Amino acid sequence: MQPRSLHPFKGVQIDFASRIKEIHIKSYNRIKEIDSLIEQKESEIEALRAQIAAMSDKLTADKEQHQEERHFTPEVISEFRTRKKYIDVDLKLLGWTIGDDVREEVELYGMPNIEEKGYADYVLYGRDGLPLAIIEAKRTSKEKIRR
């Protein structure tokens, strides 16, 4: 009886040259495929850049035209009317209750004046009773804001 070989490839003929050639061809074809995809994507990017440039020019022209057409004249109203017409309404719409979690004309100390005292138009309080925010109202103005 002949002893058995424990070598797993004994008697197996492998043509390494043809296997390497096969791998090379597959790799080459995959690289060509990827190059083609990259070329396609670069073409798409260039088309999008051109589209953005065209849109940008149009939007810039539209913006300039609309700025010339747009005229806004604010209604000149007092601070009190501003509060009642805008701030009170917005606070209520946001779920705040004036007199409960929102207090008006709250006295503040440590202000930079002789009495060291002032008033906040609104103070918003949290559930724990601590102040969360102070809102100071101003009347509308005719003057343009300069930036």
Q: Over 70: is that where the pLDDT of 12 sits?
A: no
Q: Beta partners for 120?
A: 106
The pTM of the whole model exceeds 0.75:
no
- Average pLDDT in the chain: 85
The pLDDT score that the predictor gives to residue 145 is 55
134 with 110: CB under 8 angstroms? Answer: no
Q: Over 70: is that where the pLDDT of 119 sits?
A: yes
65: enclosing H helix or E strand: helix 16-69
Q: Which two tokens stand for residue 106?
A: 């709250």
The pLDDT score that the predictor gives to residue 79 is 87
Residue appearing with tokens 């149009």: 58
Mean pLDDT of 125-138: 93
123 with 103: CB under 8 angstroms? Answer: yes
Q: Over 80: is that where the pLDDT of 140 sits?
A: no
